[in-house]
Amino acid sequence: MTIHKEGRGLILATTTVVVILNVLVASVPSFFSPGVYSILFYSVLIISIIVLLLVLQFFRLPSIEVNKNENQVLAPADGKVVVIEDTEEPEYLQSKRKQISIFMSPINVHVNRMPVGGTISYAKYHPGKYLVAWHPKSSTENERTTIAVKMKSGTEVLFRQIAGALARRIKWYVKAGQSLEQGDEFGFIKFGSRVDIFLPTNAKVLVKLGDITRGGKTVIAEF
């Protein structure tokens, strides 16, 4: 288990604030009675530890082993399946697709991984709103990135990082023409959000609504 690079600055800042706050509290016992000071000191200490642990767990980066398979689609994120439906993808593919959406809560690992391997055929960032991630219009109106990958077979799979009400920092590390392997990291979303993936209509979906996924591990569909 390591800490993701996106969290190092925030963790340093949080640690600094926590240390300064606790030093200040430790330096003012004369202003309070012993009983009141004891409650204040331990309350601040406990809250500080909890906040620091929450930040650390949010940016955790567990080591995983990816079982690559050209006939399978892996979950691009940790979270819960909230949408499975037939839809139209109008931005790039402009065709009928099967959509699977995964909601990422603040307690999930927030690394985003390639669901399939191939060459990035399209990558675009869209500024936008910050509706709650499960809102029907969040996939078209929220801040988001759209990324498509062309597999060796010629099949294209599109996936979209969507910011939510709290997640206002989308990071993506890919560009058109770049080749990546299934399970490689392609981005990170801070503080909970959603990832949509658009598959060919002949894909067999292997998950159901409410299922819990692990990015780079859970097989969500197969060709």
Q: Which residues are catalytic?
A: 193
User: CA 79 from chain center: how many Å?
Assistant: 8
Which run of H or of E encompasses 50? Answer: helix 34-58
Question: Measured between alpha carbons, how far is 222 from 204 in angstroms, rounded to an integer?
Answer: 5
Cβ-proximal residues to 34 (8 Å cutoff; 6+ apart), any chain: none
Tokens of 199: 């598959």
Question: Measured between alpha carbons, how far is 93 from 203 in angstroms, rounded to an integer?
Answer: 15
Residue 17: φ, ψ to 5°: -65, -45
Question: Measured between alpha carbons, how far is 188 from 129 in angstroms, rounded to an integer?
Answer: 18
